[in-house]
Amino acid sequence: MNACSDQFEVLSNALRIYPERLISLKYYIFEVNDPEEGIANVESAFRDILNQFYGMMCTLKDNGNIDGLYKHTEITTFLCLRHAVQHKSGKIKNKLREFHLDKDQRNTVLIEYSTSDKDRIRAPFPIHLNWIEEAIKSTNYASKWNQISEYWNFDIIKKKAKSQSINLNDIYIDGSVLITEAVRTLFTEYSKFFSPSGYDSNVYYDHFAKIKAYDAKDFALIA
């Protein structure tokens, strides 16, 4: 088995744990009254996907399968977010922590992509949009922000929010969408370089080989 396949198994393990942590969040909040542990588990699982996805891309590059990490905006978005999280010592500004732990009762407006696709399953991890922008701009990858913003229609979204009197500081993007688009693009472009090598990678190889892309132009602001 090649190194890329081995690394995809590690990434797949992280992909499995993340939704499990989201599902178990209600248990920690409502049944054992320990939201801190439940939210920390989700944050940790998200960071692990960031790191393992970066490891996947680096393995592809080290193996000579690709000559650069930043050729696709979906992947670039995720990698730049990973670098930002590393730069900010693992901090992820998200609504779960703000609402349940910081008791921040401000409105939450979530960007919903592919909003006309009513059959799409959604398990949101709302990450503060302004924080993502500021975090990426504070790293060595600040020059990539305009590309990221254009792909995800952030300028158009902000204009629409202003027209609806929505405070830009209340807007969040679903971290699960960023995961899906990064891994889906990994498959679209590079799946010929790796294959399943275990239980988790068998499941996720089939899943991401078939999943539909999100349409960033088909969006709604959900309060």
Residue 43: partners with Cβ closer than 8 Å, 6 or more residues away: 92, 94, 96, 97
Q: What is the pLDDT of residue 88?
A: 77
pLDDT for res 161: 96
In order along its 223 residues, the chain shows pLDDT tens digits of: 699 999 999 999 999 999 999 999 999 999 999 999 999 999 999 999 999 999 999 999 999 999 999 999 999 999 999 999 998 777 899 999 998 888 877 889 999 999 999 989 888 999 999 999 999 999 999 999 999 999 999 999 999 999 999 999 999 999 999 999 999 999 999 999 999 999 999 999 989 989 999 999 999 999 9
3-state secondary structure the chain: CCHHHHHHHHHHHHHHHHHHHHHHHHHHHHHCCCHHHHHHHHHHHHHHHHHHHHHHHHHHHHCCCCCCCCCCHHHHHHHHHHHHHHHCCCCCCEHHHHHHCCCCCCCCEEEEECCCCCCCCCCCCEEEHHHHHHHHHCCCCHHHHHHHHHHCCHHHHHHHHHHCCCCHHHEEEEHHHHHHHHHHHHHHHHHHHCCCCCHHHHHHHHHHHHCCCCCCCCEEEEC
Residue 124 near residue 174, CB atoms below 8 Å: yes
pLDDT of residue 62: 97
Crossing angle for the helix pair 175-190 and 3-26, nearest 10 degrees?
160
CA 90, CA 20: separation in Å to the nearest integer? 20
Cα–Cα distance list, 110 to 124, 157, 195, 221 (Å): 9, 11, 35, 6
